[in-house]
Amino acid sequence: MNFELSEEQTMLRDAAQKYLRAAYGFDARNQIVASASGMSREHWQRFGEFGWLGLGLLEGHGGFGGVVELIQVAEAMGAALVVEPYLASTVLGAQALTRAGSPAQQAAWLPGLASGQRILALAHGEADARHELSYVTTRATAKDGGWLLSGRKSGVLGAPWADGFVVVARTSGAVDERRGISLFLVDAQTPGVQVAGYRAYDGSRAGDLVLDQVVLGQDALLGVKGEGMALLEKLIDLGIVVACADALGAMDALLRKTGEYASTRKQFDVPIASFQVIQHRLVDMFAAVEASRSLLMMAALHAEHPDAATRSRAVSAAKAAIGERARFVAQQAVQLHGGVGMTEELDIGHYFRRLTLFCNLLGSSDHHLQRFAALRAPV
């Protein structure tokens, strides 16, 4: 058993924190959010130069490290409220290719993803599916040796920025069947592909993907036809671990900032931190952060477990519990800041919104609690 980061992992974590603190301050970040594109290509390429966008990718395509490395960077990004599509592209998009792409698909995409030249988004959700991954109505039918793709995907992270999409579609079976799900690699410029994009409440960009009679070649299929569910679950599980790390970064920042605020804000002539009710609330926030950190570690250590049920149980446990704690920490941070915590001007509310979106990202706490219970190993 070993719960320490290696020297390289520690260096990666420290470097990410240091760079983002210096170059990605709150004001700079807000300018990025308010810009027309809503992201900074400059930062994104810097992230690529640092190697952050190659984490977990194949070594031959500019990649190194794995989930432990990914969560070091993601935690720093959560603390800095980074809006660029780290989870969307580096994890969900690039990992689909890493795990199931053909050599040609990998060669075409991975170097550009690792360097920060290109962005690849995963389009798996649908409006009526809610959190259920196997509910897929988007259809791909075989046509002229290739594929014809039609449907609407929703909640696609990073969609307005994406150069391409990994689209989850049904090649056979009923809408909620686990069998018959396939993944396709779709260039954003393909005729019939349309993005209904928006700025999300956490400052990032997302959108619905409208697919209208999109004609794809045979080589667009990613992985094995009809067998995409296992891959999708693996991707989402990994994405959840990284999302939890991002949330932890935000929670930790809120705890620190709230402690500092309570120590300086005076009422009744004394710092409000001198009141026991405030102290105990801070301790409840601290306990929530620490438990989340423990569960994140647990989930990360199981993220590549060969047994899918063992892996998913660990991940769902973490998402269920960290989701609830993220909501608690976010709400209490606003509460303890009082009126000023309600203002757009302060960063507290921006963390609050990020964590609120996290609660329903890649499955809610309720969803994952039920999944955990269903996956329980027999007595």
Partner 1 sequence: MDIDFSPEDMAFQQEVRAWFKAHTPTELKRKTVTGEMLQKNDIVQWQRRLDTQGWLVNGWPREYGGPGWTPTQRYIFDLERAAASAPVGLSMGVIMLGPVLIAFGTPEQKAQYLPRIRRCEDWWCQGYSEPGAGSDLASLKTTAVADGDDYVINGSKIWTTYAHWATHMFCLVRTASTGKKQEGISFLLIEMDRPGIDVKPIVSIDGEHHLNQVFLTDVRVPRKNLVGREGQGWDIAKYLLTHERTSIAGVADCKAHLSNLRVAAAERRSGGRPLAEDAAMRLKLARAEIELMALEYTNFRVLAATASGKAPGPESSLLKTMGTAVQQTLSELDVEIAADQAWPWHAQGELGDGRFAHAMPHYCFSRAATIYGGSDEVQKNVLAKMLLAGAR
Cα 203–chain centre separation: 14
State in angstroms the smallest separation of the CB of 89 from partner 1.
25
- Contact status, residue 195 vs residue 212, Cβ threshold 8 Å: no
Minimum Å distance from CB 261 to partner 1? 9
Judged by beta carbon, residue 4 or residue 59, the one nearer partner 1 is 4
Q: Which residues bind partner 1 (CB under 8 A)?
A: 1-5, 68, 256, 259-260, 262-263, 273, 276, 279-280, 282-284, 286-287, 290-295, 297-298, 300-301, 317, 320-321, 369-370, 372-373, 376, 379
Nearer to partner 1, 106 or 258 (CB): 258
Smallest gap from residue 251 Cβ to partner 1 (A): 14
Task: Decide whether 123 or 273 has the Cβ nearer to partner 1.
Answer: 273
Strand 193-199 with 146-157, pairing: unpaired
Pick between residue 41 and residue 256 the one whose CB is nearest to partner 1: 256
Smallest distance from partner 1 to CB 142, Å: 41
> 370: how many CB neighbours lie within 10 A of its CB?
15
Nearer to partner 1, 221 or 317 (CB): 317
- Contact status, residue 160 vs residue 38, Cβ threshold 8 Å: yes
Q: At closest approach, how far in Å is the CB of 168 from partner 1?
A: 27
Tell me how far, at minimum, the Cβ of 116 lies from partner 1, in Å.
27
Label residue 289 left, alpha or beta by phi (over 0 means left) and psi (-120 to 50 means alpha): alpha
Nearer to partner 1, 113 or 262 (CB): 262
Which residues face 206 on adjacent strands? Answer: 157, 198
Tell me which residue of 96, 94, 55 sits closest to 234, measured CA to CA. 96
Please say whether the beta carbons of 120 and 165 come within 8 A: yes
Contact 118, 162 (CB under 8 A): no
Residue 254 CB, shortest distance to partner 1, in Å, is 13
- DSSP lists the bridge partners of residue 205 as 199
Q: What CA–CA distance (Å, rounded) separates 52 from 65? A: 10
DSSP 168-231: EEESSS-TT-STTEEEEEEETTSTTEEEEEEE-TTS-EEEEEEEEEEEE-GGGEESSTTBHHHH
Nearer to partner 1, 88 or 326 (CB): 326
